[in-house]
Structure 1
Amino acid sequence: MSSLTCNHWVVGDVHGCYQPLQRLLGVLPKHDHVVFCGDVINRGPDTASTMQLVWSLVTAGRATWLRGNHEQALLQSLSDPELNSANPWLPRLQQLPTVFRGYGWVATHAGFDAAGHPDLTIREHFWEHYDGSHGLVVIGHTPRPEVERHGQIVMLDTGAVYGGQLSAYCPETEAVVQVEGIQKTTAAPRNRMAPLQQAVPC
């Protein structure tokens, strides 16, 4: 999905951080499209509410939820007919794409393999060998202290579940919006529009 009338905000790994996600969504522009780059689930305190919130945004057309390695693991578990054959999340997770393509950029969970296919667990090999063939690539998967840009790669997971921040990045303007993660929920939300490279705030 792409749009000529709105920007996009790619959100890093949420990992069940429901309250930070609520605060982040509260400061993002209401008419822009949100792209969750995978690992919406697990590790945090409220995966169930987080899943429901993100899925409600998807069904309303406000968001795209990409598959991460944690969604893939859950999908494989739910696919076992002896475990959860009637689980309502199975068909939903099966719909999750692995790539979202914008104009001159793509979002995916971790990167692409040597053949150019999405890889939900790749790290250094992609970082070191990416040739720019997909344009700017926005990824999560590997927690960093801050949003980082390395050439044509933007690394967006800032460890919200570990007491870092939950971050959103706008590929059209290079603006960043962040709120504090789960271990700092008593603090005031941090709404920071910070440029990576000569950004114009949305």
Structure 2
Amino acid sequence: MRSLTCNHWVIGDVHGCYQPLQRLLNALPKKDHVVFCGDVINRGPDSPSTMQLVWSLVMAGRATWLRGNHEQAFLQSRSDPDLTNPNPWLTRLHQLPTVFCGQGWVATHAGFNCNGHPDLTIREPFWEHYDGSHGVVVIGHTPRPDVERHGRIVMVDTGAVYGGKLSAYCPETEAVVQVEGVQETAAAPRKRTASSLQARPC
């Protein structure tokens, strides 16, 4: 979905942080379109309410929810076709796209592989070898201390579920809006930096 009359805000991994998400949405312009960069679910304190809130925005045309590796894992763990009817979330999550295309930029959960296809778990091979063919790429997946730009890659997961911030990034203006995340609920993720990691062949 694209809009010619509004900006877009790409939100990093929410991971069930319902109250921070409410605060962040209240701080964003209501006419702008929100793109959730995947991993809306799991780890945090209230995934059910978070999923319902995000889905209601999708149904209202105000948001796009991209598939992350946690949504993918949820689907794979419930792959029995007989479960689809009793659980409407399986149908909904199956519908999630993996890429959102803007003007000169795209959002996806983690990056693209060597063949240019979205990869929901990729890290270093994308960071080290991205050739700019998709324009600016806005990703989540790897928590950072703050929103960071590395060449034509913007990383917007700022670890809300680990006691960091929940961030929204506007590709049109490069503005950033942030709110405090939840109290730390799990072991902090291993730190990674795009600049210090050794390049690996894709």
TM over 0.5: yes
Residue 76 of structure 1 and its aligned partner are, at CA, apart by 1.4
Aligned partners of 1:77 and 1:83 also within 8 Å: no
Task: Say whether residues 1:164 and 2:164 are aligned partners.
Answer: yes
Describe how 1:45-194 pairs up with structure 2 within 5 A: 45-81=45-81, 86-183=86-183
CA distance in 2, matches of 1:64, 1:31: 14
Cα offset for 1:135? Answer: 0.0
Mapped partners of 1:160, 1:87: distance in 2: 28
2:73 corresponds to which letter in structure 1? A
Q: Percent identity, aligned pairs only?
A: 84
Q: Are residues 1:7 and 2:2 paired?
A: no
CA distance in 2, matches of 1:83, 1:129: 40
Shift of 1:86: 1.9
Residue by residue over 1:122-164, the C-alpha shift from the partner in whole angstroms, topping out at 9 and shown as x without a partner, is 0000000000000000000000000000000000000000000
Answer whether contact 1:78 1:85 (CA < 8 A) is retained.
no
After superposition, the C-alpha distances for 1:157-188 in whole angstroms (9 at most, x for unaligned) are 0000000000000000000000000118xxxx
- 1:78: Cα distance to partner? 2.5
Amino acid at match of 2:64: T
Deviation at 1:84, TM superposition (A): 6.1
Shift of 1:79: 2.1
2:193 maps to which residue?
A: none
Please say if residues 78 and 87 of structure 1, whose CA atoms lie closer than 8 Å, have aligned partners that are also in contact: no
Alpha-carbon deviations, 1:95-138, whole Å to 9, x = none?
10000000000000000000000000000000000000000000
Which residue does the alignment assign to 2:188?
A: none
Secondary structure of the residue that 2:183 maps to in structure 1?
helix
Query: What TM-score, normalized by structure 2, do the two folds share?
Result: 0.89
Runs of 4+ with >6 A deviation: none
User: Which amino acid counterpart does residue 2 of structure 1 have in structure 2?
Assistant: R
For residues 29 and 73 of structure 1, the distance between their equivalents in structure 2, rounded to whole angstroms, comes to 32
Gaps of 5+ in 1: 185-202
Q: 1:158 to 1:139 in 2, by over 3 A?
A: same
Amino acid at match of 1:183: Q
2:27 is aligned with 1:31: no
Which moves more between the two structures, 160-169 or 85-94? 85-94
Distance 1:2 1:88 in 2: 26
- 3-state SS of 1:149 partner: strand
Structure 2 counterpart SS, 1:127: helix
- Partners of 1:30 and 1:44 in 2: how far apart? 25
**CA apart distance, 1:75:** 1.2
Any idea what SS the aligned residue of 2:168 has? strand
Letter in 2 for 1:165: K
Q: What TM-score do the two structures reach when normalised by structure 1?
A: 0.89
Q: How far apart are the structure 2 equivalents of 1:34 and 1:165?
A: 17
